[in-house]
Amino acid sequence: MGSSYFYMEFLLAWVTLLKDAGYENPALFALEYTLVPDAVYPTQVQQVFAGYEYVLSIARNSSRICVGGDSAGATLILSFLLYIADHPDYRNCLPGMACMISPWVTIVSEKNRNTRSDYLNANSLHLYGRQYCGWKVPVDDPMVSPGNCRDLSRWAKASPRKGWFFLFGSEEVLGPETRSLIGLLKKTGAEVDFHEEQGGIHAWPVAALYLGETKDERLKGLRDIVKVIHQRLG
């Protein structure tokens, strides 16, 4: 669901905070990838790769790039990084860091349980996830459902040079799988930080920008992201 245009205010606020942090010319690239049912895997991952190559042609140095996404967008970034890990020719193009907001780590998982607060529904997610997988790959294939990759060496190769930052809510349907991935990534030796918002729902940094009552509430998630980017990438 959704479109890059839905995130316009979120992206503009992000650019403003990056400027406030001292970046002279920050740039954000939002990928408008094809949605189900118009296309299924691997179309979306291929589009992410094409988008990354475009960004790299401008940034020139991949260490200056922070990749990220929320929900299904974060899933595509995880799949994209695993793809790089499997292709040695691209490993010198790893991004500087990755910022994951409420990633849909495992497309179909028994750990995805409904909560009293979150607006997502596990059964609906599994239905949409199977539609995304289509007929070409099984639903547990790690490339389409990254949480099914338990290979530490593969995740070590996929990890950005300056590591990971995860944001998610304690009340998320997807929370258990996110915690599991964070634990796995830490075992690889990669730098992994996370913020679990107590009482938070799915993609709370995005939701808070539109629903927060005060400026601090609306920008909290974005400020956390910018702070980590500044610490990691300088």
- Paired residues of 192 in beta bridges: 164
Place of tokens 């790769």: 49
Query: What are the extents of the domains in the chain?
Result: 4-233
Q: Which of 78, 26, 28, 29 is nearest to 50 (CA)?
A: 29
Q: Which of 105, 186, 92 is nearest to 142 (CA)?
A: 105
Q: pTM here?
A: 0.96
Average pLDDT over residues 14-23: 97
Q: What does the pLDDT look like over 190-204, one tens digit per residue?
A: 999 999 999 999 999
Confidence grade of residue 82 (pLDDT, cut at 50, 70, 90): very high
Confidence grade of residue 2 (pLDDT, cut at 50, 70, 90): confident
Query: Would you give the DSSP letter of residue 99?
Result: E
Place of tokens 């991004």: 95
Q: 69: Cβ–Cβ under 8 A, 6 or more apart, which residues?
A: 75, 76, 77, 100, 101, 103
- For residue 59, give both structure tokens: 């940034």
pLDDT at position 142, please? 97
Q: What does the pLDDT look like over 158-195, one tens digit per residue?
A: 999 999 999 999 999 999 999 999 999 999 999 999 99
pLDDT at position 135, please? 87
Q: What does the pLDDT look like over 62-75, one tens digit per residue?
A: 999 999 999 999 99
Q: What does the pLDDT look like over 84-101, one tens digit per residue?
A: 999 888 888 999 999 999
134 with 194: CB under 8 angstroms? no
pLDDT at position 77, please? 98
228 with 163: CB under 8 angstroms? no
Q: What does the pLDDT look like over 43-53, one tens digit per residue?
A: 999 999 999 99
For a pLDDT cut of 90, what percent of the chain falls above it? 94
The span from the CA of 210 to the CA of 217, in Å, is 10
145 with 128: CB under 8 angstroms? no
Neighbours of 122 (CB within 10 A): 18
> Candidates 3.40.50.300, 3.20.20.220, 3.40.50.1820, 3.40.50.40; correct CATH number of 4-233?
3.40.50.1820
Could you tell me how far CA 10 lies from the centroid of its own chain?
A: 15
Task: Please report, as a single letter, which amino acid is at residue 111.
Answer: K
